[in-house]
Amino acid sequence: MSRAVAIHKFGGTSLGDASRIRNAARLLAAARRRRPVVAVASAMGGVTDVLLQAARDAERGRIGLARKAVDALKARHAAAARELGVRFEEAPLRELSAALEGVSLLRERTARVTDLVSSFGERLSSPLLAAVLAKAGVPARAVDARDILVTDDRHGAATCDRKRSDPRVRRKLKPILAAGILPVVTGFIARSVKGETTTLGRSGSDTTAALLGAALSAHEVVIWTDVDGVLSADPRLVRGARLLPRLSYREAAEMTYFGAKVLHFPAVLPAIAEGIPLVIRNSFRPEIRGTTIAAKGDGTKGIHAVTAVPGMCLLSLDGRGMTGVPGIAARVFSATARLGVSVVMFSQASSEQNIALVIPEGDRARTVAALEQEFRWERLTGSIDSVNARAPIAVVAAVGEGMRGTPGIAAKVFAAVARAKVNVESIAQGSSECNISFAVDGKDWVRAVRALHRVVSI
């Protein structure tokens, strides 16, 4: 294989029915004119949920419901196949029924059997897509990812063993590609070292695409979904939100962290680790180029996007006695870590008389209790006055490559917020240099986001 391949992954809505599948086949046929393509198929939209519900029903002995679900799945796929004029391979459904009958009989649903049951969505969709391609004159072959991806046995959220898997991926797919055939690989599913079916976690088809991209040193991994790409702000909040043509990995990571649903980041780490560009595109509007997320962003410095996470609580520890006492911040973090509470933002004044941290509002009571307990001695002796909590607050973040190194950006951010008459409660500048985040009162955050978006430059 001389030319680098592209991986094209289709999510559930992009394979939702016959016309969507036909559309996906069309996009694949077009992509293949430019370079060799490997397709990754998710289950048809909603199918994984149906399968998981059927497994739960079977466990409770409601086998009638589980059987109905299988019938409905069969009808849905058969109808799509009929409309597309291809054969529908029913064999997997017999295995699914047997698994569900077993669960119902034993009234026991292990993580292992849950994975087996939830694997059928992709096992049904991939052959369908391959058949449609073949019918349209594009030689294609369905590939079961369990033949190429080996994982640990953490059923439900297994991790791929790339050392074992990468050579298998290459051994299996390269000859298929060399023969001019387009492999259509099942997303989401894999197998454990013991040979059992595993899944890579919900939305795991993105992971499959990233893994195949990494193993094949792909030119790019294209993620076909139902949005145009990554926008400069949530369009439900900001009317002028714009499509971002290009983002760096770090910018995208910051945006995801601060509430934007860009991509499930951990899912695509294998591709990021190899520096492979990820392209997010809308299968409903393929004329739009989407967003490319790559090692380098668009090369411009400035604010590229605004995101926010509402529903947060601002905790602060105040007291003169903290000055020069080492380990206070560490104790705060170990307390939150023990509770498993995620700290969205943290700041410490250089006078060391105040520490502020932002956590989800729902974790407020137990975090306050834990910090009061942790610093009970300091509170008794008066070196820490109190643990204060304020909610609801929101963390608003301005994201853009090279922000910290560029003079005047922070001024721009806070001038915009001040113009909107929003009071800033606490500020943190991400160490990644590509975000400035701050906490505002829960009633002000939408205004802050809108005001800040006016100074976005793309």
Residues 5, 6, 7, 12: which binds ligand ASP (CB under 6 A)?
A: 12
Nearer to Mg ion, 188 or 375 (CB): 188
202 binds, among ligand ASP, Mg ion, none (CB under 5 to 8 A by kind): ligand ASP
Q: Kindly report the number of other CB atoms within 10 A of residue 285's CB atom.
A: 12
- Is residue 264 near ligand ASP by the rule CB under 6 A? no
Please, what is the minimum distance in Å from the beta carbon of residue 168 to ligand ASP? 21
151 binds, among Mg ion, ligand ASP, none (CB under 5 to 8 A by kind): none
Q: Restricting to residues 119-148, which ones interact with ligand ASP according to CB under 6 A?
A: 121
188 binds, among ligand ASP, Mg ion, none (CB under 5 to 8 A by kind): ligand ASP
Residue 388 C-alpha from the chain's centroid: 33
Question: Which of these segments, 95-103, 204-212, 227-235, 303-311, binds ligand ASP (CB under 6 A)?
Answer: 204-212
257 binds, among Mg ion, ligand ASP, none (CB under 5 to 8 A by kind): none
Residues 112, 172, 202, 219: which binds ligand ASP (CB under 6 A)?
A: 202
For residues 154-171, one letter each, b for 16 or more C-beta atoms within 10 angstroms of the residue's C-beta and e for the rest, the string is ebebbebebeebbeebbe
Interatomic CA distance for residues 166 and 171, integer angstroms: 9
> With contact defined as beta carbons under 8 Å apart, do 353 and 317 qualify?
no
Interatomic CA distance for residues 432 and 423, integer angstroms: 25
Please, what is the minimum distance in Å from the beta carbon of residue 189 to ligand ASP? 9
Please, what is the minimum distance in Å from the beta carbon of residue 206 to Mg ion? 7
Please, what is the minimum distance in Å from the beta carbon of residue 427 to ligand ASP? 37
183 binds, among ligand ASP, Mg ion, none (CB under 5 to 8 A by kind): none
Residue 114 C-alpha from the chain's centroid: 22
204 binds, among Mg ion, ligand ASP, none (CB under 5 to 8 A by kind): ligand ASP
Indicate the burial class of 422 (C-beta count within 10 angstroms; 0-12, 13-18, 19 or more). Answer: buried
Q: Restricting to residues 172-191, which ones interact with ligand ASP according to CB under 6 A?
A: 187-188
Single out the residue of 255, 258, 317, 259 nearest to residue 291, CA to CA: 255
Question: Which of these segments, 200-208, 250-258, 291-299, 407-415, binds ligand ASP (CB under 6 A)?
Answer: 200-208
Three-state DSSP state, 278: strand
Please, what is the minimum distance in Å from the beta carbon of residue 205 to ligand ASP? 3
Please, what is the minimum distance in Å from the beta carbon of residue 45 to ligand ASP? 8
Interatomic CA distance for residues 272 and 249, integer angstroms: 7
Please, what is the minimum distance in Å from the beta carbon of residue 225 to ligand ASP? 10
With CB atoms as reference, the residue minimizing the distance to Mg ion is 11
Question: What number of CA atoms fall less than 13 Å from residue 439's CA on the CB side?
Answer: 25
- Is residue 14 near ligand ASP by the rule CB under 6 A? no
> With contact defined as beta carbons under 8 Å apart, do 201 and 190 qualify?
no
404 binds, among Mg ion, ligand ASP, none (CB under 5 to 8 A by kind): none
Q: Given CA atoms 335, 338, 339, 340 in this order, what sign does their dihedral have? A: positive
Interatomic CA distance for residues 415 and 423, integer angstroms: 11
Q: Kindly report the number of other CB atoms within 10 A of residue 94's CB atom.
A: 10
The one-letter amino acid at 245: P
Longest dimension (CA), the chain: 80
Cis preceding linkage at 392, omega within 30: yes
Q: Which residues contact 299 (CB under 8 A, 6 or more apart)?
A: none
Residue 45 in tokens = 């939209």
Nearer to ligand ASP, 23 or 48 (CB): 48
Three-state DSSP state, 316: strand
Nearer to ligand ASP, 42 or 232 (CB): 42
Q: Given CA atoms 15, 21, 23, 28 in this order, what sign does their dihedral have? A: positive
- Is residue 432 near ligand ASP by the rule CB under 6 A? no
Q: Kindly report the number of other CB atoms within 10 A of residue 310's CB atom.
A: 16
Which residues form the interface with Mg ion (CB under 5 A)? 11, 203
- Is residue 151 near ligand ASP by the rule CB under 6 A? no
Nearer to Mg ion, 11 or 259 (CB): 11
Q: How many residues bind ligand ASP (CB under 6 A)?
A: 13
Q: Which residues contact 34 (CB under 8 A, 6 or more apart)?
A: 6
Nearer to ligand ASP, 51 or 417 (CB): 51
With CB atoms as reference, the residue minimizing the distance to ligand ASP is 205
Residue 200 in tokens = 């890579």
Please, what is the minimum distance in Å from the beta carbon of residue 206 to ligand ASP? 6
43 binds, among ligand ASP, Mg ion, none (CB under 5 to 8 A by kind): ligand ASP
48 binds, among ligand ASP, Mg ion, none (CB under 5 to 8 A by kind): ligand ASP
Q: Restricting to residues 18-77, which ones interact with ligand ASP according to CB under 6 A?
A: 42-43, 48
Please, what is the minimum distance in Å from the beta carbon of residue 199 to Mg ion? 13
Residue 215 in tokens = 């193993």
Number of helices (H), then strands (E), belonging to the chain: the values are: 15, 17
- Binding stretches for ligand ASP (CB under 6 A): 11-12, 42-43, 48, 121, 187-188, 202-206
